[in-house]
Structure 1
């Protein structure tokens, strides 16, 4: 985060993805030929969509997670930010193999072992950011990028919040805070988000439980034909495990993190936070220390 860069320092090679107010490109730095991802945010669009606070929070979270001592192999690194008249630029780690959503679309669902590997790396990434008081608030397969070695990178901190930190100042759009009360993605959000209540770290473990179910079953537990019906299912915890569900320990973990009452939800501050999640029997055989250096079992799915 010490190097000041500008757009002319990079070759913009091709588009990776785009959203309503930003586009991500695969880029190469002219000086070193090193590749990276650059997220380009259109200033007038974030003002129009009242997303200015979201961008401030995203940068604050990523700067915190990218400082010396806070880096983690399962989390995207922010290497630099800069701006010009029209755009904001975020220079980040490039994930060479797209994301878990793309992989899941190709294979429909994952084996018990492959699922455990991905969920273990996600849990380790969430534990790290929670330790630094960062709540992601938009955990889902498309935000789990894949490296060439088959490990995940937790990405897209656009909904993230540093717990306990004051809201960033916003003199551009005073109505933005009210509009930004809903965060996340329909099939992965918690009841408290839908009710407009304060959130804490366990929203990420709820979403992790949704992903765990989805990887093993091939669809999310609250899947329905409209957002309204999805939200009704979330609020009433209306879902079932199929008779063919293969992993009993995964089932118990899902049942303990997909819980309406935050005080009873595994991973919440009331239940001991991330450490208790990592101590769940589902992870009994996981070596957290060596996980980043293990040969990824999902490499065969990526080729």
Structure 2
């Protein structure tokens, strides 16, 4: 959409511009290992050294690094041959390369010409972002001489990363299962502790805990050896208690633990523990334990009743899925230019058509069938393979939004489509968009959903944000009224942002209670109704519980998902690093969104950068400090930083109080949550006419009218098979 707004030469379009969400695409056919040789074992240390500079590789342990390198293979590239083409996507953008021999030039298209911007030689790597998601190649890479590269495929890397993370989690869970004092905890609670524990390394001869000191942490030995001593004072005269004697009482090895009583209270250490070898421990502090689960004493006293894991999920499934009984939905749309009407007959579901007031129409043989007629109106928005239009139900005259998706565009990721169909049909929350019917024709899939006439939060931000002048202190020295003034972008007023963020807290809390992780929170996916309230929409990336082995396996029982999806700049560290995630990514996304609403820019794009890998590195780098404009209140800063906590188990929203911790934060002091949830709170801002129509007016004719269908017979056959049960 170009620059969102600017003043006095300050460009801000990149900061708040609409961004495309991404996900890992499903391959039609797994890539076959080329006949080229695997990387030789003697080359592994060098390859590991090269990959060690990468964000995704350097956090893995030695065994995992060796397994990944062991699956890399050589590819020979002749002089003049192009290895990467700028703009390539799909399989052509799913590999990372390490130069083994030879030389490559890196070319970028600028002002109609290819310019050399870099050279790659032995040991250099390129294509790191391809290990995360299907991002278009940013440059062309061509060999200047006969060359060799080692190749790492995205599927191989992420499969290894997933197995490694799951193995490590299972190992720590096994350790926790052996601790008697934690036996009352559920599996879910123990897995929360797995994420909350920190790894600490002690050199040989280090005193880890000292007898008599106040205990505040619990230790599990992950690797190494330690010895336990107790000091006893012998009897002596003059009340001195006698001389102390040191007695060796135990030897500790891998999976042993000590200090568990510290989780109950400030109990003095009963013995001294010293490391014999290099000692690697998982450390869990009492303060951390209490924050993520609550006091251990309370957990031990609770009633040990069976956990009903399906309770909340069954509420969500009250309506279930659509019936398989067919019905017809007729879609009417005007032809481009002629003003004549096109009539498209689609396959729908009888129960949905009946609920919407569809009429009975007699077939030629006299058998009645249900039919619903909807008429398309103006275009509300478009995507790569979809568009959303205003639609009117001719039976009752109600206005809806009609989302149309091209089958051939989404056939590689059908799980997202079916997830959205199931989830949105069953949502019953005032701040979540609901789907009323789904149907399909030969080329398209359709959703009939709530109509939101006020645009989205990005429209609100673009309309209300403005440039202000503030005084900036130099070099950390406060200069007060003598400080020079600088122009900065200011987002929404505090009260307006608080209303929207609070509404999203309620929506996310509802989804999480029903075992749904949203995964793509950003202003473009938060829609405004004509009265000014919000609804969370676009559930294409949402993930719900899955049906496995006859049992519902909800995410809240410790299960995680590993698919990279979301919008760069909004994704959480655990998503970037392929460590597995659940509801934690939504609270991280809320922190990013709150920052964007208040400032008009993203927290990880400053200092300004166009490189997604720089943004990703900042997201996972604990040393990177988010900069706040001076007008952001300290209480708002605190909430944002607690949501942008890089350790998921310590993130606000993931602690023992869950969403209640966010509601009780000082930024919401005096806020009437009950009135908001009942929609009895007056919105601080009502949509203006231009908010909802600005992007519609900006749509080009090419965006308004789809290209002719060019799918092959094979593609159509695949689409029909994949979406037969839609």
Give the TM-score, by structure 2 length. Answer: 0.37
- The alignment status of 1:182 with 2:505, answered yes or no, reads no
Q: How does 1:228-243 map to 2 (within 5 A)?
A: 228-237=613-622, 238-243=624-629
Structure 1 CA distance for aligned equivalents of residues 628 and 570 of structure 2: 19
Q: How does 1:146-295 map to 2 (within 5 A)?
A: 146-162=528-544, 164-166=545-547, 181-223=563-605, 224-237=609-622, 238-268=624-654, 270-291=655-676, 292-295=679-682
SS at match of 1:79: strand
**Structure-1 residue corresponding to 2:286:** none
Segments of 5+ residues of structure 2 without an aligned counterpart are 1-318, 332-372, 466-490, 549-561, 691-726
The one of 55, 72, 86 equivalent to 2:429 is: 72
Whether contact under 8 Å (1:264, 1:271) holds in the other structure is no
The one of 459, 464, 484 equivalent to 1:107 is: 464
Q: Could you tell me how far 1:5 is from its partner in structure 2?
A: 5.6
Q: Could you tell me how far 1:189 is from its partner in structure 2?
A: 0.5
Segments of 5+ residues of structure 1 without an aligned counterpart are 66-70, 168-179
**Structure-2 residue corresponding to 1:53:** 415
Whether contact under 8 Å (2:391, 2:401) holds in the other structure is yes
Q: Could you tell me how far 1:249 is from its partner in structure 2?
A: 1.8
Give the TM-score, by structure 1 length. Answer: 0.87
Whether contact under 8 Å (1:194, 1:231) holds in the other structure is yes
Whether contact under 8 Å (2:604, 2:626) holds in the other structure is no
Greater fraction of residues in strand? 2
SS at match of 1:44: helix
Q: Could you tell me how far 1:255 is from its partner in structure 2?
A: 1.3
Structure 2 CA distance for aligned equivalents of residues 301 and 218 of structure 1: 19
C-alpha RMSD over aligned residues = 2.1
Q: Could you tell me how far 1:204 is from its partner in structure 2?
A: 0.9
SS at match of 2:565: coil
Provide closer, same or farther for how the CA distance between residues 243 and 26 of structure 1 changes in structure 2, counting only shifts above 3 A: closer
Structure 2 CA distance for aligned equivalents of residues 98 and 56 of structure 1: 25
Structure 1 CA distance for aligned equivalents of residues 409 and 600 of structure 2: 35
Whether contact under 8 Å (1:130, 1:274) holds in the other structure is no
Q: How does 1:2-151 map to 2 (within 5 A)?
A: 6-8=329-331, 9-47=373-411, 50-65=412-427, 71-108=428-465, 109-151=491-533
Provide closer, same or farther for how the CA distance between residues 302 and 205 of structure 1 changes in structure 2, counting only shifts above 3 A: farther
Structure 1 CA distance for aligned equivalents of residues 461 and 645 of structure 2: 25
Whether contact under 8 Å (1:263, 1:271) holds in the other structure is no
Structure 2 CA distance for aligned equivalents of residues 31 and 258 of structure 1: 48
**Structure-1 residue corresponding to 2:119:** none
Structure 1 CA distance for aligned equivalents of residues 602 and 454 of structure 2: 23
Q: Could you tell me how far 1:158 is from its partner in structure 2?
A: 0.7
Bigger RCO of structures 1 and 2 (CA < 8 A, at least 6 apart): 1
Deviations 1:143-201 (A, max 9, x none): 11011111111011011011x4248xxxxxxxxxxxx9211101110011112232211
Q: Could you tell me how far 1:105 is from its partner in structure 2?
A: 1.4
SS at match of 2:405: strand
Whether contact under 8 Å (2:531, 2:687) holds in the other structure is no
Provide closer, same or farther for how the CA distance between residues 302 and 14 of structure 1 changes in structure 2, counting only shifts above 3 A: closer
Larger radius of gyration between Structure 1 and Structure 2: 2
Q: Could you tell me how far 1:227 is from its partner in structure 2?
A: 1.3
SS at match of 1:7: strand
Structure 2 CA distance for aligned equivalents of residues 5 and 124 of structure 1: 36
Q: Could you tell me how far 1:260 is from its partner in structure 2?
A: 1.1
Q: When the two structures are aligned, how many residues end up with a matched partner?
A: 282
Deviations 1:80-122 (A, max 9, x none): 1111222111110010011010111122210111111111111
Provide closer, same or farther for how the CA distance between residues 276 and 107 of structure 1 changes in structure 2, counting only shifts above 3 A: same
Deviations 1:243-281 (A, max 9, x none): 51332221111111101111111112x544223222222
**Structure-1 residue corresponding to 2:685:** 298
Whether contact under 8 Å (2:530, 2:687) holds in the other structure is no
SS at match of 2:404: strand
**Structure-2 residue corresponding to 1:174:** none
Provide closer, same or farther for how the CA distance between residues 234 and 105 of structure 1 changes in structure 2, counting only shifts above 3 A: same
Q: Could you tell me how far 1:302 is from its partner in structure 2?
A: 6.8
Whether contact under 8 Å (2:390, 2:451) holds in the other structure is yes
